[in-house]
Amino acid sequence: PKFPKRVGVVTASTGAAVRDIINVITRRYPMAEIVIYPAQVQGVGAAESVVKAIEYFNATNEVDTLIVGRGGGSIEDLWAFNEENVARAIYEAKTPIISGTGHEVDTTIADYAADLRAATPTAACELAVPDITEVMEGIANREYTMDALLKQIIRRYQMKLQKYQITIANYDPRFQLQEQKMRLSELE
């Protein structure tokens, strides 16, 4: 969604990735609530932990967008995101998922299964939420445009009103009587 209310995050509860995600989302779009489901993202049991988190968000339907990922590391560190059960959980999820695993050069199977792929967890945040500064500038531009359009519409109706006033004045009995008096004077 363009303006998510709640962003779910599946990553380790400690480490740079979760801090970056919180900082970037809070800075870019402070009205979004962040819901973190701490998951083991490396080692034995990591794939099952990530799947459990995705299934939780899918079952509760409490977030608009889900970021799944972790910071960089060796291929072994990122291997949980290459597991079939993780790819299936991401693919089957009803909630839109952004995969932000590793660094620029890292690509996992989870990246291909996700709705969007980001090169890093920080980039995933930038895809998940808009920049509030840009949103506010867009609102200000629309406000200016609406103001100009409304003024133009009002001017158009004022001109129509003046035209109708002149037309009505021409049919005013006093005006008609005055015209007839002038014509009578001319004829006399």
Q: Could you read off the pLDDT tens digit of each residue along the chain, which spans 188 residues?
A: 999 999 999 999 988 899 999 999 999 999 999 999 999 999 999 999 999 999 999 999 999 999 999 888 888 888 999 999 999 999 999 999 999 987 877 789 999 999 999 999 999 999 999 999 999 999 999 999 999 999 999 999 999 999 998 888 878 888 888 888 998 889 88
* Cβ-based neighbour number of residue 106 at 10 Å: 20
For residues 65 and 10, give the distance between their C-alpha atoms in angstroms, rounded to a whole number.
11
> In this predicted structure, what is the pLDDT of residue 125?
95
The Cα 130–Cα 118 span in angstroms is 15
* Amino acid letter, 111: D
- 3-class DSSP state for residue 138? helix
On whether the CB atoms of residues 113 and 87 are closer than 8 A, the answer is yes
- Provide φ and ψ at 120, rounded to 5°: -145, 165
Provide the pLDDT for residue 176: 80
pLDDT in tens, 18-37: 999 999 999 999 999 999 99
> What is the reported pLDDT for 169?
80
Please state, in angstroms and rounded to a whole number, the distance separating the CA atoms of residues 72 and 67: 15
Amino acid of residue 99: S
**Per DSSP, which regions of 12-139 are E strands?**
33-38, 65-70, 97-101, 116-118
pTM (2 decimals)?
A: 0.78
What's the confidence (pLDDT) of residue 188? Answer: 86
Nearest to 37 by CA among 71, 76, 7: 7
Tell me the chain's radius of gyration from C-alpha atoms: 32
Spatial separation of the C-alpha atoms in residues 118 and 17, rounded to whole Å? 13
